Amino acid sequence: VLGLSVAIFASSNRRQRILAWLDTDCGPSSDLCYQASMGLHAFASGGWFGVGAGQSRMKWSYVPEAQNDFIFSILGEEFGLIGVLFVLVMFMLLALAMYRIAARAKDLYTKVLMGCLMSWVIGQTFVNLGTVTGVLPVIGVPLPFISSGGSAMLAIMLAMGYVLSSARAQKLEFEATLEKKPAKSKKTK
């Protein structure tokens, strides 16, 4: 806690972000709170079913970095609660699949690496979702697979390449064990 406090208050940018996040009177007129306020406004204006794909009004000069950090708020506006729940379910299925691959791995390296990759991807997702919903301060973390971007997308795709490679290796190993088992012969009377 002490190290985190020193890191926050050592930089004026970090200090302003944290203080803006903690400020309850922070509205869209404040420069520090503008992005978070507009993101929440876009997120909330989607309703149950959203305004339609590509029909977002907030992404045009209202929500800064709408294609990157605040893409989830634009998804909420365009696809509504149903679309947001769909995205959340997809991330939960990804986490479950990565957990299953880690649990079935026979070597420690794959187990540890898969756990780390799962923590990274799902953790980054939760940080982005927390930022968009106002639970966490705005820190500029992209939403995996959805935010536009170069280096973050490249890193996620490399990680998913390893995940898919591990899943394929487990599948081939399972099929090889099935082929080794002798077929049961039917008893004749």
Q: Predicted confidence band at 71 (pLDDT cuts at 50, 70, 90)?
A: confident
3 is a domain residue: no
57 is a domain residue: yes
pLDDT, tens digit, 9 for 90 and up, residues 37-47: 777 777 777 77
The amino acid sitting at 5 is S
Enclosing H/E stretch for 12: helix 12-22
**Residue 117 or 151, more confident:** 117
107 is a domain residue: yes
Determine the structural domain holding residue 113 and report its residue range: 8-18+26-179
34 is a domain residue: yes
61 is a domain residue: yes
pLDDT, tens digit, 9 for 90 and up, residues 82-118: 888 999 999 999 999 999 999 988 889 889 999 999 9
Task: Identify whether the C-beta of residue 84 lies closer than 8 Å to the C-beta of residue 76.
Answer: yes
126 is a domain residue: yes
Domain count, the chain: 1
Alpha-carbon distance of 147 to 125, in angstroms, equals 11
90 is a domain residue: yes
72 is a domain residue: yes
**Residue 160 or 27, more confident:** 160
DSSP 62: T
Q: Quote the pLDDT of residue 98.
A: 92
Instruction: State the average pLDDT for the chain.
Output: 80
